Amino acid sequence: MAEPHYEHPGARWWLVLFGPGFAAAGLLLELLTGPVNLWLWLIVAAVLAGCIALWVRARRAVCSVRLTADELRIGSETLAVERIRAVDEVDVPDGARVLGGLWAVPKRFAEVPLLLEDGTVVLAWARDGDRLRDALRALVPH
């Protein structure tokens, strides 16, 4: 696998630990205050961990960004870097297509307009738009 110039996974798996952490806190509180219902807290830990795992998996599928020397992968879409002609001073027309199969750039993500070889403009996006733009500048000839 090629070395990434920029990478954002969309979400991290350690977030699944919030469910068991919440259940452990509840269990400790019950230990201090009265009768303990261990089975309830085990079920709460499993349900929360499962729900958060589904959320993390979805975010990793939809909101991940990876740039290598050969391709830019955003969500479920891959764009060859050789198709990109410009990263800077690209005017964004109304209705420019958003990469990744989404209708709009996700909230808290910065858009990075790209001019392609056929003259169309598409919107790439990343959590850190400046870092993605700098990495693309290094790969795209001016």
Is residue 88 very low, low, confident or very high in pLDDT (cuts 50, 70, 90)? confident
Task: Name the percent of the chain lying above pLDDT 90.
Answer: 84
Q: How far apart are CA 124 and CA 138, in angstroms?
A: 16
Q: How many CA atoms lie within 13 A of 46 on its CB side?
A: 6
Whether pLDDT at 19 is above 80: yes
pLDDT digits (tens, 9 = 90+) for 112-131: 999 999 999 999 999 999 99
Is the separation of the CB atoms in 71 and 80 below 8 Å? yes
Note whether 80 and 111 are within 8 A (CB): no
* Contact yes or no for 70/3 (Cβ under 8 A): no
The order of strands in the sheet holding 110-116 is 84-86, 110-116, 121-126, 97-98
How far is it, in rounded angstroms, from Cα 139 to Cα 47?
A: 44
pLDDT for 142: 66
> Structural domain boundaries of the chain?
6-62, 66-139
Query: What integer pLDDT is reported at residue 1 of this predicted model?
Result: 65
